[in-house]
Amino acid sequence: MSSNLDFISSLNYATINRHAAALLLLFGTIGNLLNICVLTERSFQQNPCSIYLSWSSITSLIFICYNVNWPNENDIACKVRQLFLNVTWPMGIWCLVGANIDRYFCSHSSMTLRQFSTNQMAKRFILGIFVLFLLLFIEVVYCFEGSIPNVPVLCYGRNIPCRLYNDWAALLFDIIPPIGT
């Protein structure tokens, strides 16, 4: 009796998971595409905040598209996909942080701080976080392999230190700092 209930429960969970994931993928893709279309219009290009938000949408769209679980038995495809994921996810988050910081600078009473709210500063910030996360996660070229036996996914870290570095770097640079801003 209990095994039947467990089986039915797992089927219900799988069904909900399948349909909810498809809806999130669809709405996330459409929402990011609409953001890109609106925020890249000429009238918004004078506002540094729109640069941050459009790049957040671009990197989030790349993350959504590359996060689809493709078979990664090929080593090169595994490493490229993992590098894209590890760079685009924090960039999307940090672009939103940059937009918040820009809004703070833009509305501050000090003229000195208001001067930091420029398109050039926004582009420098985005380039800086891109280089930072590219250098931080370049280790996936060495650490990740496709088709490692007895692991949960096909593209996985080759050893414990690589997995720990990747997880701690993601935690310390992708998750905790944006929460504090």
- pTM of the prediction? 0.82
Contact of 60 with 92, CB cutoff 8 Å = yes
With cut-offs at 50, 70 and 90, classify the pLDDT of residue 139: very high
Q: What is the pLDDT of residues 11-67, one digit of tens each?
A: 777 778 777 878 888 898 999 999 999 988 888 888 999 999 999 999 999 888 876
The domain in which residue 92 lies consists of 2-180
- Number of structural domains found in the chain: 1
Whose tokens are 């070229």? That residue is 141
More confident residue, 65 or 162: 162
More confident residue, 3 or 49: 49
Whether the pLDDT of residue 2 is over 70: the answer is: no
CB neighbour class for 149 (10 Å; exposed up to 12, middle 13-18, buried from 19): exposed
- Beta-bridge partner residues of 156: 145
**98's tokens:** 């940059």
Whose tokens are 């080759």? That residue is 158
Where do runs of H (alpha helix) occur along 40-157?
A: 48-66, 75-107, 111-114, 119-136, 140-143
Whether the pLDDT of residue 69 is over 90: the answer is: no
CATH number for the domain spanning 128: value is 1.20.1070.10
